[in-house]
Amino acid sequence: MKVIAFDLDDTLYKEVEFLRSAYREISTYLSYNFGIEDTFDLMIQFYDNGKNVFEEIKNRYCLTVSRDTLLEIYRNHFPDISLNVDISQTLESLRERFCQIALITDGRTITQKNKIKALGLQKYLNESLVIISEEFGSEKPANKNYLHIQNSFPNADFFYVGDNLKKDFITANFLGWTTICLLDNGLNIHKQDFNLSVEYLPKYTVTSLFEILNII
């Protein structure tokens, strides 16, 4: 038995697409409630320039809406995101090989579950192996998150595929899992830094998720 656990954000899809989807939702909200048009491009501009997007948009239009309201829309909207072809083909290939597919992701329950539904990941995932930090009660790199997967399949071979070197691989390495890092193609929200001690580093790196099929 082979068990492949994936990270979600910037691994199975690019998190910047969620961000863009959320800004579109907020732009629609502002248009409907305040009659303000075309704020999407402005929010993207603020983001690209490293600004506090919500404060900038509130100040630009003297809005009375609270930052918490905008943040709630950001976190809770149902996102317009989808799997790339190479990722869906990879997951299909793993399923055809009778691999168990798991998910270990940090984030809020409603946010991450909406992403899973929007991406159509339910058909690939073993529901009992979906670990969302808020729901599970601990974040990576806590042993608990990985051991839940490991203890479900005694004597299996375990793999973890992620992108964040600060937290994705250190525990999986300690437990003897095979660790694989999907390299940033320039779109990741959190940039990768390989200048870390060896226990944080993955065993393999790939430029496309499809390449993991040569490792697993």
**What's the pLDDT score for residue 126?**
85
**What's the pLDDT score for residue 191?**
87
In angstroms, the CA 74 to CA 56 distance is 16
In angstroms, the CA 108 to CA 135 distance is 7
**What's the pLDDT score for residue 38?**
86
**What's the pLDDT score for residue 15?**
97
For the chain of 216 residues, list the mean pLDDT of each consecutive stretch of 10.
97 97 97 93 95 95 94 97 95 95 97 98 93 96 96 95 96 98 94 94 96 96
DSSP state, residue 203: S
Q: Which residue has the tokens 């809406």?
A: 65
How many alpha carbons fall within 13 Å on the CB side of residue 145? 28
**What's the pLDDT score for residue 108?**
97
In angstroms, the CA 8 to CA 88 distance is 13
In angstroms, the CA 181 to CA 169 distance is 8
**What's the pLDDT score for residue 31?**
95
Cα 94 from chain centroid (whole Å): 19
In angstroms, the CA 13 to CA 54 distance is 24
Q: Which residues pair with 182 in a beta bridge?
A: 206
70-74's contacts with Cβ under 8 Å and 24+ in sequence apart are 70/26, 70/29, 73/22, 73/25, 73/26, 73/29, 74/22, 74/25, 74/26
**What's the pLDDT score for residue 127?**
87
CB burial of residue 209 (10 Å; 0-12, 13-18, 19+): buried
**What's the pLDDT score for residue 37?**
87
Domain boundaries defined on the chain: 2-13+81-214, 16-76
pTM summary value:
0.94
CATH of domain 2-13+81-214: 3.40.50.1000
